Chains A and B, each alone.
Chain A
């Protein structure tokens, strides 16, 4: 019994590791872009790597690092990154329902560090409950990929042709597309929810009276409205999936 449990945990860990690999590789070009940006803005390569390792965010650390480069104050830096990162609360709340309820407080504090848009998306489409071993396996690759990519970008910054550096800017978004399109193809509600969310984002971004809303809040508002509309029109059937 005991041995079986360890084995199954080990299996979960390996499965998580496998599921995290595409994310890890997908992160590398995006992280290279980040490393390039940080170093060309005057930060040391070590600081760039430290930012990636300690933050493990995309949009949040790009914005925060830009503010550091511009010499902004602590409050502005903290508030801006917090607003962009608030969306993780929705993901964390969603995962709180999906993980094995037996996972301890300490374990939650550990694997919670690795929740990103991508690890969350992969975890949330898994069948059944998520174990702690699975979550740890899932987040290790992306943490390494993100940190390593930043180190590469920070050290090759001068050697990389600018055209390639610009092209890498699309990597993060291409990855998001790869995550959402397959489920949207199979589920009409998911497709429509994505469209609603995008339309709200566009309205908030281009209509000038909404100009005071920051990009982080745009994501939160669009997400809450689109997911609420989806839940009202297409509540899930508790029997088949969740």
Chain B
């Protein structure tokens, strides 16, 4: 079995390098409007892709995850804070897990 400390250091490098390479290599402003627009839309596309459909598998039970997702969507639509949305989703999943 590999040494866990070495494995973790390798993981840390795999997390750090992608974060800093563009920051230190692209120091000029990009003036192409399409590239600018693309970069503006990236965060929304990334988070959408990270969230769906994986959120439905996040609790080990599809129904409870569905209820938690619905509550999260509703509260996010009402523009509640990150903490409120996250805690309400956890609570919803927790409660519904006893009802099914």
Q: Which A positions have Cβ atoms within 8 angstroms of B?
A: 22-23, 25-26, 29-30, 43, 47, 50-51, 54-57, 59-61, 64, 67-68, 71-74, 77-78, 81-82, 85-97, 99, 101, 105, 108-109, 112-113, 115, 117-118, 120-121, 124, 163-164, 166-185, 189-190, 193-198, 200-202, 205, 215, 218-219, 222-223, 226-228, 230-232, 234-236, 238, 242
B49 to A223, Cβ gap below 8 A? yes
Nearest B residue to A183 by beta-carbon distance?
B44
How near does chain B come to A187, taking the closest CB pair, in angstroms? 9
B11 to A64, Cβ gap below 8 A? yes
A180 to B90, Cβ gap below 8 A? no
Which of A59, A105, A164, A174 touches B89 (beta carbons < 8 Å)? A174
A92 to B45, Cβ gap below 8 A? no
List residues of chain A with CB within 8 A of the CB of B68: 167, 170, 174
B46 to A87, Cβ gap below 8 A? yes
Bound-state CA distance A112–B45 (Å) is 21
A169 to B45, Cβ gap below 8 A? no
Which of B22, B35, B46 touches A219 (beta carbons < 8 Å)? B46
List residues of chain B with CB within 8 A of the CB of A54: 8-9, 11-12, 15
B14 to A82, Cβ gap below 8 A? yes
List residues of chain A with CB within 8 A of the CB of B39: 90, 93-94, 97, 227
How near does chain B come to A151, taking the closest CB pair, in angstroms? 16
List residues of chain A with CB within 8 A of the CB of B72: 170, 173-174, 177-178
Nearest B residue to A71 by beta-carbon distance?
B1
Whether A55 touches B93, Cβ cut-off 8 Å, given contacts A71-B2, A95-B23, A232-B34, is no
A177 to B51, Cβ gap below 8 A? yes
Bound-state CA distance A171–B52 (Å) is 14
List the 8 closest A-B pairs by CB distance, nearest first. Answer: A174-B89, A181-B76, A112-B20, A231-B37, A178-B85, A173-B55, A194-B48, A167-B94
List residues of chain A with CB within 8 A of the CB of B87: 29, 171
B38 to A231, Cβ gap below 8 A? yes
How near does chain A come to B5, taking the closest CB pair, in angstroms? 7
List residues of chain A with CB within 8 A of the CB of B84: 178
